[in-house]
Structure 1
Amino acid sequence: MICKNKAAGWLLFYLQSSRSLLEYKNHLEACYCISGKGQVLEENGAVHEIEVGTVYVLDKSDKHVLINASEEDFVLVSVFNPLLKGTEVHSLDGSVSSAY
């Protein structure tokens, strides 16, 4: 992971999961799908289909559910702004959103 202390000006992050409740209260996020198919489910019920080559951007620190919609791995590369420090941890048990 490339973090704030590396002074790159951007962060590249990799997360692999089947269903994740996510929310980035202090960061904007853009994701690029490199494998599989999935969905982004917004709090308002809107569903967005994701497949290889899709880029999606969450511009309001939106709480969302990321769902693997295929039998293969659903893999996204994420870019965050501002940069993560590198000490943040995902909580993917589903009880609360994983929030940075």
Structure 2
Amino acid sequence: MIVRNVNEVIGTEHEVITENWLSRRVLLQKDGMGFSFHETVIFPGTETHIHYQNHLEAVWCIEGDGEIETIADGKKYALGPGVVYALNENDEHWLRGGKEPLRVICVFNPPLTGFEVHDEKGVYPADARAA
């Protein structure tokens, strides 16, 4: 059994912080679960281009507000507590922070190693192992 508190990740190499978001990677590839599990905070007023070509992601919004816009069709969806969205077709999109920090819980398949950040095309690499 694996038991962790997200607070154990804060300040470690598995709390990844960028200009637009912070991600606390709680369960990772090395845990052998077949998925990874993260708490992420999208900062207010930010815009992040994302296109997970190598991963599927499900996201549960639990606090704050924001918006997701799918690039293929320009559809916009309001994000807030209780909203779940799934990038089941590797959907390229814009993720925008609203007026308040948007806190979400994310599941990735295949699991992340914990070191991923978006490249210039909004993609996480297929396997981002630590050096």
TM range (shorter): 0.7 to 0.9
Give the gaps of 5 or more residues in structure 2: 1-24, 125-131
TM-score by length of 1: 0.84
Q: Which whole-Å CA distance do the structure 1 matches of 2:97 and 2:121 have between them?
A: 17
Give the gaps of 5 or more residues in structure 1: none
> May I ask how many residue pairs the two structures share in their alignment?
95
Q: Which whole-Å CA distance do the structure 2 matches of 1:64 and 1:77 have between them?
A: 18
1:3-82 to 2 correspondence within 5 Å?
Answer: 3-17=28-42, 18-43=46-71, 44-69=73-98, 71-82=99-110
Q: Which whole-Å CA distance do the structure 2 matches of 1:14 and 1:37 have between them?
A: 15
Q: Which whole-Å CA distance do the structure 1 matches of 2:57 and 2:35 have between them?
A: 11
Q: RMSD in angstroms over aligned alpha carbons?
A: 1.5
Runs of 4+ in structure 1 off by over 2 angstroms are 14-18
**Structure showing the higher strand proportion among its residues:** 1
Which string of whole-angstrom CA distances, capped at 9 and with x for unpartnered residues, describes residues 3-37 of structure 1?
A: 11111232112332332111111111100001111
Which string of whole-angstrom CA distances, capped at 9 and with x for unpartnered residues, describes residues 33-74 of structure 1?
A: 0111111101121101111011001111111001122x2111
TM-score by length of 2: 0.66
Identity level (%): 32
Amino acid at match of 2:38: F
